[in-house]
Amino acid sequence: TAEDGHGLWLRYTPISQEAVLTEYLQTVDHFEVHTSSETGLLIHEELTNGLTSMYQQELVATEGLEHSLQVCKTDHSLVKGLGIDAGIKEQIGAEGFLLRSVQREGKSFLLLTANTDIGLYYGTFHLLRLIQTEQSLVGLDVVEYPRIETRMLNHWDNLDRSSERGYAGFAIWDWHRLPDYLDPIYAEYARANASIGINAMVPVNVNSNALILTPMYLEKVKALADLLRPYGIKMYLTARFSAPSEIGGLATSDPLDPGVAAWWADKAKEIYSYVPDFGGFLVKANSEGQPGPHDYHRNHAEGANMLAKALAPHGGQVIWRAFVYSEENPVDRHMQANDQFVPLDGQFDDNVSIQVKNGAIDFQPREPFHPLFSAMKETRLAMEFQITQEYLGQATQLVYLGTYYEECLDAQIGIKKATVSEVIEGQSNEQEHSVIAGVANIGTDRNWTGHLFGQSNWYAFGRLAWNPDLGADAIADEWIAMAFDHDPQVHATIKDIMMHSREAAVNYMTPLGLHHLMATGHHYGPGPWVSELGRPEWNPVYYHRADSFGIGFDRTAKGSGAVLQYQKSIAKKFGNLKSCPEEYLLWFHHVSWDYEMQSGRTLWDEMGLHYQSGVDEVRRFASQWESLEGKVDARRFEEVQMLLTIHEKEAVWWKDASLLYFQTISNRPFPAEIETPK
């Protein structure tokens, strides 16, 4: 069959070693699923396909416990006899599972049990993953449950199937043919997401119009929601704040107007009549021209709470984005979210989460964690990552984002030893209803994500959403083992490329804390010289601030003061030139071209070397990939090979354009060690 990448990480390639297969057959040579729900049928299908494909043989037809996998809920009689601890049932909750090797009446078998069908489905994928990655099944005792309640994809897809910041073809949601035509890709999408534990989605762009809330579209939404339900995926919708006036015929959308509140309450009721388990609203308000409560001199809490009250009777949630900045406000854009939201801490209703991007600017190749994560102790904070690579080479560059996500999740926020992931999970301040969102990179491209390695980012997001402590390294291992055949050299080579790819991108695009230097609008390629756009904070020169003295954005107390939005210990570390990690140097400091770096080189020379090393790394990736010819199936091999050729050109483009431009300001010669920019 053609290896076009459509099978994602669910290829179920044959077990590579006879001995491993023998062990598996002695552990699980058949299975029984004791649940007849729709999800139960999916489990049955997945196990049949997965096991026969990996074992390369039909499963044993006999019934009975010996060498079987028994899939049943915790209230099943089979489980009752096994004395499973009540504590475990509580721990695994609504989505977790227990996978345990057990003995009964002298027979040994594998038990997969959960409180719900969805838990069983997730456990099924876990077991299949163990086999896909050729782990031992002997003596298994796995207790798994998600650490974050809502693990969601945000599609920035428009109703006309165009996709904002999408680089993999068109949106997969075919609104025109819904509700009657259910494209088979929807079920494939749902299964892929379930395999990594994603349990929520918003099918429309945060900048979407209000049409999605009208009955014509709600019928389509219902059809999708019905399809996604057995896979454990809940639908949310974007709510355009001005909907009452736009589609409701009201004179205002003022959140404190009783008529407006009543309109939203009715709208919520109507939506729940179509989708009884509807998740809630995602809102982009008063940001980049979107309507919001400020239009009526109300604050974010007044806006969010009004929607929250409409959803509360039905159990719905408001996810209100913190990505706000306004042109009227001359303050450093970095500071605006904190300025607007921190004074509202404690004022949001229980069913409101504030969804914060990982950094304060905008999904840059590297950003320090967003200061809001340590500044709102009485508010439920959600994480927003970007999976689509808007600022990271889009679909022509190979950039594994597992390391990117991990860097942010593991960052210490300066309150005791707490990390960003703990804030999201709610351990440090008692949050339930935790949320993590990823802006999806999925489209109609045959391989879903445009670049084959975009799949690894979708995968990594899902796995980290399930357990933020899994680690980018381990996740890369899983993905490679599942997406490619079992060849140690292939595995090691691909892993080496992936694990270095993000740092390479930082180096050839925006090293040492530089940021937002991408070309205007599309954000593809370099544009550090752009200075003429209408709004200051849209111009790259606003961010790098290069002048005859040096380069970088002074965000210390002497500058914009943004660093003071972090907790004291962090502010001290980032705010002091000597203790600021060099990777964030120009993010927080305006530094002389001749400043002596840790390496002993001047800043200017160091910058040149970073750009060069980014290029060198991409060249290395390309030649490493060449060594896999004949070892990776031809089609995927050639696709990635061609993309790496583009990637290399683009890395050189970034380096040359950036350095030539900065040289016009620094007036210094390039360091001898680098290839002279042309």
**Residue 101 CB: number of other CB atoms within 10 A?**
16
CA-to-CA dists, residue 490 to 33, 66, 579, 617, 639, angstroms = 36, 37, 40, 18, 16
Catalytic residue among 254, 390, 639, 650: 390
Dist. CA 87–CA 95, nearest whole Å: 15
Least Cβ distance, residue 170 to ligand GCU (angstroms): 17
Contacts of residue 637, Cβ cutoff 8 Å, sequence gap at least 6 = 625, 628, 629
3 state DSSP class of 202: strand
Least Cβ distance, residue 181 to ligand GCU (angstroms): 29
3 state DSSP class of 556: coil
Q: Is residue 165 a contact residue for ligand GCU (CB under 6 A)?
A: yes
Q: Which of 295, 283, 290 is nearest to 256 (CA)?
A: 295
Q: Which of 534, 528, 501, 530 is nearest to 620 (CA)?
A: 501
What are the phi and psi torsion angles at 505 (to 5°)? -65, -45
Dist. CA 122–CA 193, nearest whole Å: 10
Q: Which is nearer to ligand GCU, 68 or 287 (CB)?
A: 287
The two tokens of residue 183 are 């494209």
Q: Which is nearer to ligand GCU, 201 or 206 (CB)?
A: 206
Q: Is residue 333 a contact residue for ligand GCU (CB under 6 A)?
A: no
Contact set for ligand GCU, span 88-127 (CB under 6 A): none
Least Cβ distance, residue 293 to ligand GCU (angstroms): 17
Q: How many residues bind ligand GCU (CB under 6 A)?
A: 10
Contacts of residue 386, Cβ cutoff 8 Å, sequence gap at least 6 = 165, 357, 363, 438, 439
Least Cβ distance, residue 326 to ligand GCU (angstroms): 13
Stretch that binds ligand GCU, among 8-16, 282-290, 374-382, 511-519 (CB under 6 A): 282-290
Q: What is the DSSP letter of 460?
A: H
Catalytic residue among 288, 473, 594, 638: 288
What are the phi and psi torsion angles at 321 (to 5°)? -80, 145
Q: Is residue 300 a contact residue for ligand GCU (CB under 6 A)?
A: no
Q: Is residue 24 a contact residue for ligand GCU (CB under 6 A)?
A: no
Contact set for ligand GCU, span 340-399 (CB under 6 A): 362, 390
**Residue 599 CB: number of other CB atoms within 10 A?**
10
Least Cβ distance, residue 171 to ligand GCU (angstroms): 14
CA-to-CA dists, residue 574 to 206, 234, 376, 498, 582, angstroms = 32, 40, 20, 28, 10
Stretch that binds ligand GCU, among 281-289, 307-315, 407-415, 494-502 (CB under 6 A): 281-289
CA dihedral 285, 288, 290, 295 (to 10 degrees): 70
Least Cβ distance, residue 83 to ligand GCU (angstroms): 50
Catalytic residue among 29, 149, 332, 362: 362
Q: Is residue 164 a contact residue for ligand GCU (CB under 6 A)?
A: yes
Q: Which is nearer to ligand GCU, 308 or 439 (CB)?
A: 439
Binding mask 630-669 for ligand GCU (x = CB under 6 A): ----------------------------------------
Point out the residue whose Cβ comes nearest to ligand GCU: 323
Least Cβ distance, residue 332 to ligand GCU (angstroms): 16
Contact set for ligand GCU, span 172-211 (CB under 6 A): 206-207
Stretch that binds ligand GCU, among 112-120, 122-130, 249-257, 283-291 (CB under 6 A): 283-291
Q: Which is nearer to ligand GCU, 3 or 164 (CB)?
A: 164
Q: Is residue 320 a contact residue for ligand GCU (CB under 6 A)?
A: no
Residue whose token pair is 């049990």: 113
Contacts of residue 169, Cβ cutoff 8 Å, sequence gap at least 6 = 443, 444, 445, 450
Q: Which is nearer to ligand GCU, 212 or 494 (CB)?
A: 212
CB-CB contact of 585 with 599 (8 Å): no
Per DSSP, which regions of 363-467 are E strands?
Answer: 381-386, 435-439
Q: Which is nearer to ligand GCU, 72 or 361 (CB)?
A: 361
Stretch that binds ligand GCU, among 223-231, 246-254, 280-288, 482-490 (CB under 6 A): 280-288
Pure H helices in 160-214: 184-195
Q: Which of 518, 514, 459 is nearest to 484 (CA)?
A: 459
Cis peptide before 536 (omega within 30 of 0): no
Least Cβ distance, residue 185 to ligand GCU (angstroms): 24
Q: Which is nearer to ligand GCU, 390 or 554 (CB)?
A: 390
Binder of ligand GCU out of 55, 173, 263, 323 (CB under 6 A): 323
Q: What is the DSSP letter of 411?
A: -
Least Cβ distance, residue 514 to ligand GCU (angstroms): 18
Known catalytic membership, residue 288: yes
Known catalytic membership, residue 390: yes
**Residue 405 CB: number of other CB atoms within 10 A?**
27
Residues at the site binding ligand GCU, with contacts judged by CB under 6 A: 164-165, 206-207, 284, 287-288, 323, 362, 390
Mind telling me the catalytic residues? 288, 362, 390
